[in-house]
Structure 1
């Protein structure tokens, strides 16, 4: 009755009753007013402190600046609302670790008191997702490499729009031979950026040259390898859109090794806007993902799922925007020939 009178869910009313901190002031005031109306008398004496809520945050790679930005967003949100975040790596593949049997990872987390987990840029199998469900663990994925089931809740950015914006920026500078040095071919975020890039070229009346599209990975070495291949072609690109900032820096090194200057001889644009972008020489033009906000949204979404709340959408995309710095410039006269 109290929950109905306050217009909140039972879990939210319970949080107020137990003195939990993860409730807004306005919601707490409504519940407390309803409690007074129903004549609720709080228990006196020593109250048992409710245990902290604990969630897992797992990565396939903890070394990248991308991962560190996500980590910062999740942990800062956890500190604000009184949730403990345990950080770790995705376990070994099936047959070599906790994925055998499929339920073991989920059961280990459940027995440790976790309410759910956030998985970042990793590939999950349908069996693993179903294992989390059987264990009663909520799941949110950030920038998933795949979505084994459409009901899996995900948080990402507007990758298609970001790819479109990146290519449009290069087109506006006069470039027409624009290459794409993307991430793994099966990664949904990389595919979305590729489709946005192609849409911009088609809108400008440019024929997308298949020889200018490469798939590799999101590491510096991947960008170096793809950049080397693209710039060694008989008719090389005058601009390269890389799948992320780390790969873009690899492309810039490939240009340096060929004696090319960025941006005078080659324009380069990245994706993410991590600290690498502003510290590069020249500073990297890139498409900014709100990485910390993605982490915050993922944690709050996970807690809503754990509380049994329904979501308006299983897939949340935060807006991207172009950050123009020194690595892109109008095409040179020699490149325009």
Structure 2
């Protein structure tokens, strides 16, 4: 059970570990580790915190020895995407090996849910936060900074507004590789179903698509770029819009595997075959896409490894270690399967 941040001092006044952390110039998790007798605190830091605890008469609530588990908070906007499961798997692998628990939360884009999560975070004195969401209000960003809890942002749905180390993938290179693959097969009218424009990863994939076309001397036709949101329905809607053009594309690059699946369904409803009538490329390489008929050509995003790197990074921050770089990008890889073929 997590140590509550507020306890009763010897003079009857409530003292919080947040106040102690601010006075010591350290994070709340560091004070919590000192209070709970954990060894992973530098001696000089421990001495400073213990001195402040004595000055303020802080008395820990009576409890069984070692009752506070080390915890990481992993926060998503939603959990209804298969790539969320891959990130959770990576974080959990590292956390389990380190003897750290993982608290997974979904805030569903609602301010109330985000505020409730923040309250829970304060109560359980988490050792670190991994954010895979872009919808935290500015006031909550400020609260995270005030708590001085180590934070890492994973950027498939990450936010550039919070100053924190980030872990991502080479989205621009992946977008370019997917488009160049279709160009190598002779396709010249290539449709693109984009992700949410507010996300850096979406814009990078679109920029990679544009760069590949420009590199091949093919003008970018904005009519071939349709909006999406990374989910199935928008892939279906986007593919339908492309098929309704006076001159439809011969290939489609969807900025996520789920949108690629929606696009394939739209093509089948029109009686079109993949890849004989239209080639389709996705982005992510979710586990199920290799079992499609035909198996999906896609850009592999190392989601599980991104989760592992994020967990290792936030644990390093919690230990007070310096990072080699505030931004890490893991390589994407084009995986060619049977959903793409030479232009008919």
**How would you bin the TM-score normalised by the shorter chain?**
0.7 to 0.9
Q: Deviations over 1:194-235 (max 9, x none)?
A: 000100000000011000011211111110000011011110
Structure 2 residue 184 is matched with structure 1 residue 177: no
Distance in 2 between residues matched to 1:110 and 1:187, nearest whole Å = 28
3-state secondary structure, aligned to 1:124: coil
Structure 2 residue 225 is matched with structure 1 residue 213: yes
- Distance apart, 1:98 and its partner CA: 4.8
2:12 alignment partner in structure 1: none
Asked whether the equivalents of residues 132 and 157 of structure 2 are also in contact (C-alpha less than 8 Å), the reply is no
Structure 2 residue 76 is matched with structure 1 residue 59: yes
- Distance apart, 1:123 and its partner CA: 2.8
Structure 2 residue 85 is matched with structure 1 residue 68: yes
2:6 alignment partner in structure 1: none
Asked whether the equivalents of residues 171 and 201 of structure 2 are also in contact (C-alpha less than 8 Å), the reply is yes
Distance in 2 between residues matched to 1:144 and 1:249, nearest whole Å = 19
Asked whether the equivalents of residues 107 and 135 of structure 1 are also in contact (C-alpha less than 8 Å), the reply is no
Q: What residue ranges of structure 2 are gaps of 5+ in the alignment? A: 1-29, 41-64
2:16 alignment partner in structure 1: none
Asked whether the equivalents of residues 117 and 137 of structure 1 are also in contact (C-alpha less than 8 Å), the reply is yes
1:192 alignment partner in structure 2: 204
Please point out which of 277, 280, 305 is paired with 2:289. 277
2:312 alignment partner in structure 1: 300
Distance in 1 between residues matched to 2:269 and 2:182, nearest whole Å = 23
3-state secondary structure, aligned to 1:249: helix
Please point out which of 75, 87, 92 is paired with 2:104. 87
Distance in 2 between residues matched to 1:319 and 1:330, nearest whole Å = 27
Asked whether the equivalents of residues 245 and 276 of structure 1 are also in contact (C-alpha less than 8 Å), the reply is no
Q: TM-score, normalised by structure 1?
A: 0.80
1:35 alignment partner in structure 2: none
- Distance apart, 1:305 and its partner CA: 1.6
Distance in 1 between residues matched to 2:114 and 2:176, nearest whole Å = 40
Structure-2 change in CA distance of 1:92 and 1:261 (3 Å)? closer
CA RMSD of aligned residues (A): 2.3
Distance in 2 between residues matched to 1:168 and 1:92, nearest whole Å = 35
In the comparison of the two structures, how many residue pairs are matched? 288
Distance in 1 between residues matched to 2:73 and 2:162, nearest whole Å = 22
Aligned residue runs from structure 1 range 1-337, under 5 A: 49=66, 51-90=68-107, 93-94=110-111, 96-99=112-115, 105-143=117-155, 145=157, 147-149=159-161, 151-332=163-344
Distance in 2 between residues matched to 1:313 and 1:221, nearest whole Å = 38
3-state secondary structure, aligned to 2:304: helix
- Distance apart, 1:106 and its partner CA: 3.3
